[in-house]
């Protein structure tokens, strides 16, 4: 008996760790089951809906390429919305990121206030923001741009502030010892360390804004989303399919260009 025990392979994890992993795994499975029961979203419902999905998808083909010339202008508006919103958010997030970084902002009240503000900005969905701004300013491009600016600001400031908190503080401390002021420390010790990640995050948010601007158009916030919404309302599925294909190609091209730029910078 002792020889058999000696031949068995030793366990990679202690028994206590195994028990914890088992409990966590059981809890996750329990949440899945509870969510399924409470929402009524069962696999049976999915299987029942598949035939309907197939009938609807068939109506989208073939796409109507004749409408391509009519969607060029709203597509350009969508890209312009994303460019303006991302640029404005990129500038606005710089002071907010510095104030939300614990290693730069020593005032706890200011740090907590800015952190809370960023959490609030990220809590509000971009679609809700678009609905609010459409109610304030009416249907058009401006509500979409404002919604994207706030949406982008919450993401960018959060990501960049965390990047700032992870930088090497030795250069800033060395400049402090030599008598440099705060602006000089940020310019010559902090920005060089953060700049590659800053550019990468801005490009990433730009990609997100292209997709988000399409969705915002569904509530009247400008861009090609309005055209897509109209075609779906009038059951012009081949026209809608072409718009979806154009958006897909646009997103893939922008993602490819952004990836190449990030690889060249980071």
Distance of alpha carbon 97 from alpha carbon 26, whole angstroms: 39
Residues 35 and 112 in one domain: no
Q: What's the structural domain count of the chain? A: 2
Q: Is there a domain that residue 115 lies in?
A: yes
Under the banding of pLDDT at 50, 70 and 90, the label for residue 8 is low
Specify whether 40 is located in the same domain as 74.
no
- Picking from 120, 200, 190, the residue whose alpha carbon sits closest to that of residue 156 is 200
Domain span at residue 55 reads 16-60
Same domain, 115 and 36: no
Residue 7 is assigned to a structural domain of this protein: no
Band of the pLDDT at 139, cuts 50, 70, 90? confident
Task: Please check whether residues 38 and 166 belong to one and the same domain.
Answer: no
Residues 50 and 150 in one domain: no
Is the pLDDT assigned to residue 161 strictly greater than 80? yes
Same domain, 52 and 75: no
What is the crossing angle of helices 43-59 and 237-265, to 10°?
A: 100
Is residue 96 located within the same domain as residue 130? yes
Domain match, 107 and 132 both:
yes
The residue from 6, 33, 60 where one domain ends is: 60
Whether 55 is in a domain gets the answer: yes
Q: What is the 3-state secondary structure (H, E, C) of the chain?
A: CHHHHHHCCCCCCCHHHHHHHHHHHHHHHHHHHHHHHHHCCCHHHHHHHHHHHHHHHHHCCCCCHHHHHHHHHHHHHHHHHHHHHHHHHHHHHHHHHHHCCCCCCCCHHHHHHHHHHHHHHHHCCHHHHHHHHHHHHCCCHHHHHHHHHHHHHHHHHHHHHHHHHCCCCHHHHHHHHCCCCHHHHHHHHHHHHHHHHHHHHHHHHHHHHHHHHHHHHCCCCCCHHHHHHHHHHCCCHHHHHHHHHHHHHHHHHHHHHHHHHHHHHC
33 and 118 inside one domain: no
CATH number, domain of 125, equals 1.10.3720.10
**Residue 137 is assigned to a structural domain of this protein:** yes
Give pLDDT, residue 27. Answer: 93
24 compared with 56, residue with greater pLDDT: 24
pTM of the predicted model, to two decimals? 0.75
User: pLDDT tens, 46-56?
Assistant: 788 777 888 88
Residues 36 and 97 in one domain: no
pLDDT in tens, 172-222: 788 878 877 777 888 888 888 888 888 888 888 888 888 888 777 777 777
Within this chain, do residues 38 and 165 fall inside the same structural domain, yes or no?
no
Is 76 found in the same domain as 169? Answer: yes
């Amino acid at each position: 008996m002792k020889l058999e025990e000696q031949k068995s392979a030793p366990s990679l994890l202690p028994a206590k760790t195994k028990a914890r992993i088992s409990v966590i795994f059981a809890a996750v499975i329990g949440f899945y089951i509870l969510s399924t029961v409470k929402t009524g979203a069962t696999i049976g419902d999915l299987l029942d809906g598949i035939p309907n999905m197939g009938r609807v998808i068939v109506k989208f083909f073939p796409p109507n390429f004749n409408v391509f010339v009519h969607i060029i202008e709203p597509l350009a508006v969508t890209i312009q919305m994303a460019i303006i919103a991302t640029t404005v958010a990129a500038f606005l997030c710089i002071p907010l990121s510095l104030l939300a970084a614990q290693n730069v902002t020593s005032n706890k009240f200011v740090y907590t206030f800015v952190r809370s503000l960023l959490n609030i900005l990220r809590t509000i969905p971009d679609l809700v923001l678009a609905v609010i701004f459409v109610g304030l300013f009416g249907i058009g491009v401006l509500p979409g741009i404002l919604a994207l600016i706030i949406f982008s600001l919450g993401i960018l400031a959060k990501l960049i502030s965390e990047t700032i908190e992870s930088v090497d503080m030795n250069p800033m401390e060395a400049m402090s010892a030599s008598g440099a002021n705060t602006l000089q420390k940020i310019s010559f010790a902090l920005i060089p360390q953060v700049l590659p990640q800053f550019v990468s995050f801005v490009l990433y948010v730009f990609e997100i804004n292209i997709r988000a601007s399409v969705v915002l158009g569904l509530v009247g916030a400008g861009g090609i989303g309005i055209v897509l919404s109209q075609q779906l309302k009038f059951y012009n599925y081949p026209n809608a399919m072409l718009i979806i294909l154009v958006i897909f190609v646009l997103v893939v091209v922008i993602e490819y260009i952004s990836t190449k730029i990030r690889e060249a910078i980071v």
